[in-house]
Amino acid sequence: MAGMNEDDSCKVVLAVDEACSNIIRHSYEGVKDKPIICEGKIENSNLHIMLQDYGKKVDPANIRPRNLSDIRPGGLGVHFIREVMDRVEFEDRGDEGTCLFLEKKVPNSGVHDLWKS
Amino acid sequence: MEIVTENIGSASIVRVSGEVDMSNSPTVRDSLMLLIEAKAPTIVVDLGGVTYMDSSGIATLIEGHQATTSYGGNFRIAALIPNVRQVFELARLTDVFDIYPDVDRAQEGL
């Protein structure tokens, strides 16, 4: 990924994967063939990623990482997302679904459209 | 993703390869649970062929670790490549699991 070392690139892939998994698990209640719009760009030394879904609304207050000292299966995905990304914000767009905005600083980067799918 | 299980001495080696994510981590769980139900004395999970692992894979390993140690068994992880190891580090789990550089060393002292 432009301007990002391999370790950070792998972490961003993990964060986006975890975000998509959470959308499938919670917003789409396990149904795997529903749409997730994904857009990404690098602008002003920041990687911006937006994920949009049209599933069940989830209260952002209920989306929080678990206490890591409580070793048990599950609850790590949100921790990974918040650990890797510098900004994590949800926006309820009513009938147009829910958007998750992820942002990470990328020093020495230009402006790139990464993808839209 | 592929899983091959073999017994070497008293150790059950579970060799996993490919990408482990929410779509296939239940398969990893099934393989581990077969050994756990048989109270395998030592389970070594060889992750040398795993190129990617997400939180569902980590959760599966936590469950395997807890279930194995609950009956006094050993649960060991071997051969993490750097980008998989960093997932363990992000989860602050490198001190929770017994992690070995390779399968041979994971079998030492058994």
pLDDT tens sequence across B59-79 = 999 999 999 999 999 999 999
Distance set, CA B72 to CA A73, A91, B38, B66, B78 (Å): 19, 48, 13, 10, 19
Domains in chain B: ranges and CATH:
2-105 (3.30.750.24)
At A99 the pLDDT is: 97
DSSP state at residue B59: H
Give a yes or no: residue A66 inside a domain: yes
Range of the domain at A76: 6-28+36-116
Length reported for chain A: 117
**Could B87 and A14 be called an inter-chain contact, meaning their C-beta atoms sit closer than 8 Å?**
yes
At B67 the pLDDT is: 97
The pTM of the full predicted model, rounded to 2 decimals, is 0.90
Nearest CA in chain B to A9: B83
Give a yes or no: residue A90 inside a domain: yes
| pLDDT interval class at B13 (50, 70, 90) | very high
Give a yes or no: residue A21 inside a domain: yes
At A110 the pLDDT is: 64
Compute φ and ψ for B68, nearest 5 degrees: -70, -45
Q: Which of A13, A17, A32 is the best mutation test for B, with the most CBs of B within 10 A?
A: A17
At A62 the pLDDT is: 79
Could you give the number of structural domains in chain A? 1
On the question of pLDDT at B104 being above 80, the answer is yes
Q: Which of B90, B96, B97, B98 is the best mutation test for A, with the most CBs of A within 10 A?
A: B90
At A116 the pLDDT is: 54
Distance set, CA A105 to CA A10, A84, A109, B26 (Å): 15, 10, 9, 35
- Reported ipTM: the value is 0.89
* Helix ranges restricted to H, chain B: 25-37, 55-70, 82-90, 103-106
**What is the Cα–Cα distance from B69 to B63, expressed in whole angstroms?**
10
Give a yes or no: residue A1 inside a domain: no
Sign of the torsion angle spanned by Cα atoms A12, A17, A22, A27: positive
Give a yes or no: residue A17 inside a domain: yes
CATH number of the domain at A86, please.
Answer: 3.30.565.10
Q: Give chain A's residues under pLDDT 70.
A: 1-2, 109-117
